[in-house]
Amino acid sequence: MKMQKGLKLIFLLLILCSPVVAQNFQLGVRTEMFMWTKLDKPNGTEYYMLPLPTAFMLNAGISFNKYLNFDLRVGPEFIAEDLIGMKYGLIFKSFPLKDWFYFLGGLELHQNAASEAISTGSYNSVLKLGSIGIGFIATKALSFEFAFLKTLGDNAYTYGKGLQFIGSPIKIPANKIDYTIKFGIGFNWQL
């Protein structure tokens, strides 16, 4: 929960300081499709391919100069049957060559809420994912991104389904998300 408070504080500071520091401020919406996700399950590895929009986010971006900016992203996301929840992301973008192509990297947090609704023997976890990728700006308002996300740390588990037998829960081992590859479409407007 401390990390969420930290992200809220950073977002508040960015809003308050953006007219002084930044060249421009952008607001927008984006959707993401998880093209490939690897889950390590107790009975083997499974791969998910979801070429449909599975995340919808609000996006706030600040450009410090023509080479560097970053986005704060917040919204609901559905990766797989047991990966449903809110996503918070801080993404840095670097424009080394042209103003239409960029590299991206950052940290994304997925607060998994599927466990509360689906299973009695589960736990609520926050997944930390490192993100790297590339992006293309098609128009002033439209951009596309391809990113590779890898789980960080030991907290890469989703949930374990619980079974109730005579008042005592029996937990099945949790699933572990290894990595995911996503495609995103963003619509941003400069303020």
pLDDT digits (tens, 9 = 90+) for 44-78: 777 767 677 788 999 999 988 888 898 999 999 88
Label residue 113 by pLDDT band (50, 70, 90): confident
Instruction: Determine whether 111 is exposed, middle or buried from the number of CB atoms within 10 Å of its CB (0-12, 13-18, 19+).
Output: middle
Integer angstrom CA distances of residue 130 from 68, 117, 152, 167: 19, 27, 7, 40
3-class DSSP assignment, residue 66: coil
pLDDT exceeds cutoff 70 at 80: no
Both structure tokens of 115: 């466990």
Rounding to the nearest 10 degrees, give the CA dihedral for residues 104, 41, 152, 4.
90
Ranges of each domain in the chain: 50-190
Give this prediction's pTM. 0.74
CATH topology classification for 50-190: Porin (2.40.160)
pLDDT at 148 over 90: yes
> Which residues fall within 8 angstroms of residue 21, CB to CB, at 6 or more apart?
62, 64
Burial readout 137-171 (b: 16 or more C-beta within 10 A, e: otherwise): beeeeebebebebebeeeebbbbbbbeeeeeeeee
Looking at residues 153-178, what average pLDDT do you find? 58
How far, in Å, CA of 191 to CA of 188, rounded?
10
